[in-house]
């Protein structure tokens, strides 16, 4: 198991540890176990393959070995739980910025958790929280990023999927995949630390809003027991999607969202 120390750019004394595994059921499940054992914030697990990878809304997240960044981060937030959704925003923002700067892949974010290139998904976030009071709460923030999938494989995953290879022609080797993961963690950590400060948190929410192309679209949000349709008019300070419906403005914490039309 390789181990990489990642100093946080804005807090050089705060060092996170990335461990690289070949095979695991799910990095999110593994890191949740570390959380239950009381390990500190900043444990990062990166895997070459997951045998039981999980997506949002109980979906599977399937990969072929070595083809993706599959990674989860243990966090013990020092800010109130109503802002935990911003962790998903921060991780998707970090991944999109690194993809743009490293590979010139122009990304947009689809609320709440997708990293998109045009209308295709290149990555997704699954953040899972346990809250039992400020002292005991933890969040596992997981990301899956398509790297080496070719056109044929992408067609099997979904018509709406893409990869670094498909977008840029760049074929990452193992070390380059680890470097990419490390850079995403460092950028995310800077954003995450800023969530602890109310002013900086507002700045991060603004950054997310400007990268999110859900705003202005006609959307349908499917939530347990309810489906909402309306114009996505903004994102609240807590990271909730604001939707103008026929019956008034609704703030939606997280749901499965479908963009119904390009924009208004
Ligand atoms: C989604 O778009 O539905 C979210 C996908 C999240 C997948 C990642 S891969 C690493 C981590 N471990 C998991 O089991 N899931 C997340």
Q: CA dist 57 to 114, 197, 200, Å?
A: 13, 30, 30
Taking CA atoms only, the protein residue closest to ligand 1 atom 10 is: 70
Q: Which residue has the higher pLDDT, 222 or 126?
A: 126
The answer to whether residues 44 and 20 touch, using CB atoms and an 8 Å cutoff, is no
Structure confidence at residue 156 as a pLDDT band (50, 70, 90): confident
| E strands, the chain, in order | 2-8, 11-24, 43-50, 68-75, 108-110, 114-117, 120-130, 138-146, 218-223, 226-235, 241-245, 248-252, 256-259
Question: How much distance in Å is there from the Cα of 221 to the middle of ligand 1?
Answer: 20
Q: Report how far residue 26's alpha carbon sits from residue 200's, in angstroms, rounded to the nearest whole number.
A: 32
Look at ligand 1, atom 16, and give the residue with the nearest C-alpha.
142
Neighbours of 150 (CB within 10 A): 12
Per-residue model confidence (pLDDT) at position 1: 63
Q: pLDDT band for position 181 (50/70/90)?
A: very high
pLDDT computed for residue 13 by the predictor: 87
- 32-46, 103-117, 148-162, 231-245: lowest mean pLDDT where? 148-162
Verify whether ligand 1 is closer than 6 Å to residue 124 (CB atom): yes
Rounded to whole angstroms, what are the CA distances from 191 to 23, 92, 197? 29, 11, 11
12-29 pLDDT, tens digit each: 889 999 999 999 999 999
pLDDT above 50 (res 6): yes
The residue-averaged pLDDT of 183-212 equals 95
Domain ranges of the chain: 2-211, 218-261
Say what the pLDDT of residue 231 is.
95
Q: How far apart are CA 215 and CA 226, in angstroms?
A: 21
What class is the 2-211 domain? alpha beta
Question: Is 113 touching ligand 1 by the criterion CB < 6 Å?
Answer: yes
Ligand 1 atom nearest the C-alpha of 57 is 3
Residue ranges of E strands in 76-196: 108-110, 114-117, 120-130, 138-146
Q: Who wins on pLDDT, 203 or 134?
A: 203
Percent of the chain with pLDDT over 90: 76
Q: Which CATH class is domain 218-261?
A: mainly beta
Q: In the predicted model, is pLDDT for residue 263 greater than 60? A: no
On average, the pLDDT of the chain sits at: 91
- Give the global pTM: 0.93
Categorize the per-residue pLDDT at 262 as very low, low, confident or very high, splitting at 50, 70 and 90: very low
169: DSSP letter: -
Cβ of residue 69 lying under 6 Å from some atom of ligand 1:
no
User: CB atoms < 10 A from the CB of 192, how many?
Assistant: 26
The pLDDT tens digits for 243-253 are: 999 999 999 88
CA atoms of 178 and 182, how far apart (whole Å) = 6
**What pLDDT is stored for residue 193 in this prediction?**
95
Rounded to the nearest 5 degrees, what angle is found at the Cα of 136, between the Cα atoms of 131 and 138? Answer: 60
The residue among 151 and 76 whose pLDDT is bigger is 76
pLDDT in tens, 162-176: 999 999 999 999 999
pLDDT digits 0-9 by tens, 65-104: 999 999 999 999 999 888 999 999 999 999 999 999 999 9
């Amino acid at each position: 198991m390789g181990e990489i120390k990642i100093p946080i750019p804005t807090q050089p004394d705060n060092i996170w540890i990335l461990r690289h595994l070949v095979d695991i059921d799910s990095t999110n499940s593994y890191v949740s176990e570390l959380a239950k054992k009381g390990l500190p914030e900043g444990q990062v697990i990166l895997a070459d393959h997951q045998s039981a990878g999980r997506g949002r809304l109980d979906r599977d997240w399937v990969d072929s070995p070595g083809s993706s960044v599959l990674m989860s981060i243990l966090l013990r937030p020092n800010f109130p739980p109503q802002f935990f959704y911003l962790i998903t925003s921060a991780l998707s923002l970090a991944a999109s910025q690194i993809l743009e700067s490293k590979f010139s892949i122009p990304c947009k974010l689809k609320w709440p958790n997708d990293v998109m290139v045009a209308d295709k998904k290149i990555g997704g976030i699954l953040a899972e929280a346990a809250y039992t009071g400020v002292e005991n709460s933890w969040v596992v923030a997981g990301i899956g990023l398509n790297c080496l999938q070719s056109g044929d494989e992408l067609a099997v995953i979904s018509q709406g999927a893409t990869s670094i290879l498909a977008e840029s022609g760049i074929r990452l080797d193992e070390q380059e995949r680890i470097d990419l993961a490390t850079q995403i963690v460092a950028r995310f950590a800077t954003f995450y630390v800023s969530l602890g400060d109310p002013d900086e948190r507002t700045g991060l929410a603004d950054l997310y809003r400007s990268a999110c192309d859900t705003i202005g679209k006609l959307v349908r949000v499917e939530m347990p027991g309810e489906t909402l349709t309306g114009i996505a008019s903004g994102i609240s300070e807590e990271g909730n999607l604001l939707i103008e419906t026929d019956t008034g403005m609704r703030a939606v914490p997280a749901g499965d969202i479908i963009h119904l039309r390009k924009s208004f």
